[in-house]
């Protein structure tokens, strides 16, 4: 079966098995940031955004992404120009082993896309489905707070340059 979708802003037509999970299809297509940590939707390592909403790709049939817009961490930024969240995670020291970072970044981006000024409780709720066994969560919460503040500062400074 064919899957027609957009991944990180590019159109793809992928040949898939009707029972394939999205995590496997994305990894086969070269998107290695999407990790399969649990295969049951409880760790968040496989999170991607589908049409602007975070979803665990290990429990999402690939066919459900037909004609959808998928965002993986590879689509958020580059090593040369990282997304503000990616840079905040690095700066805060919350990237120890890196396995869970992509899912946490997707969850944080979904939060900031819908709430530019989140509280600590908002961030805890957003990151709730993402398990981290190395650095814990305090540094991640700090990173999201910092990214939110940095995004607001950037928006304010670009408004004045019209």
CA distances from 71 to 49, 93, 133, 149 (A): 5, 24, 24, 23
pLDDT in tens, 9-22: 999 999 999 999 99
Tokens of 62: 């690939």
Could you give the CA distance from residue 155 to residue 143 in angstroms, rounded to a whole number?
18
User: How is the chain split into domains, by residue range?
Assistant: 2-75, 84-156
Nearest to 151 by CA among 102, 118, 103: 118
Residue range 84-156 in CATH 1.20.1250.20: no
pLDDT in tens, 100-142: 899 999 999 999 999 999 999 999 999 999 998 887 789 999 9
Same topology between domain 2-75 and domain 84-156: no
pLDDT at 157 over 70: no
CB 113 within 8 A of CB 83: no
Q: How does residue 5 score in pLDDT terms, banded at 50, 70 and 90?
A: very high
Which pLDDT belongs to residue 34? 97
pLDDT in tens, 139-156: 999 999 999 999 888 766
Could you give the CA distance from residue 73 to residue 8 in angstroms, rounded to a whole number?
9
Q: What's the predicted TM-score (pTM) here?
A: 0.92
CA distances from 48 to 37, 132, 150, 160, 162 (A): 14, 17, 23, 34, 34
CATH architecture of 2-75: Roll (3.10)
Could you give the CA distance from residue 60 to residue 9 in angstroms, rounded to a whole number?
20
pLDDT in tens, 86-106: 999 999 998 888 888 999 999
């Amino acid at each position: 079966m064919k899957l027609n979708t957009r991944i990180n802003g590019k159109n793809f037509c992928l040949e898939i098995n009707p029972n394939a999970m999205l995590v496997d299809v994305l990894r086969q297509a070269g998107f290695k940031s999407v990790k399969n940590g649990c295969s049951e939707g409880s760790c968040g390592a496989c999170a991607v955004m589908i049409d602007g909403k975070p979803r665990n790709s290990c429990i999402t049939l690939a066919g459900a992404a037909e004609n959808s817009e998928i965002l993986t961490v590879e689509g958020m930024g580059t090593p040369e120009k990282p997304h503000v969240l990616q840079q905040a995670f690095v700066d805060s020291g919350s990237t120890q082993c890196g396995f869970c970072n992509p899912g946490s970044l997707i969850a944080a981006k979904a939060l900031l896309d819908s709430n530019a000024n989140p509280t600590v409780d908002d961030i805890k709720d957003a990151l709730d489905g993402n398990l981290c066994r190395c650095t814990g969560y305090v540094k991640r919460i700090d990173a999201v707070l910092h990214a939110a503040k940095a995004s607001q500062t950037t928006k304010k400074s670009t408004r004045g340059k019209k």
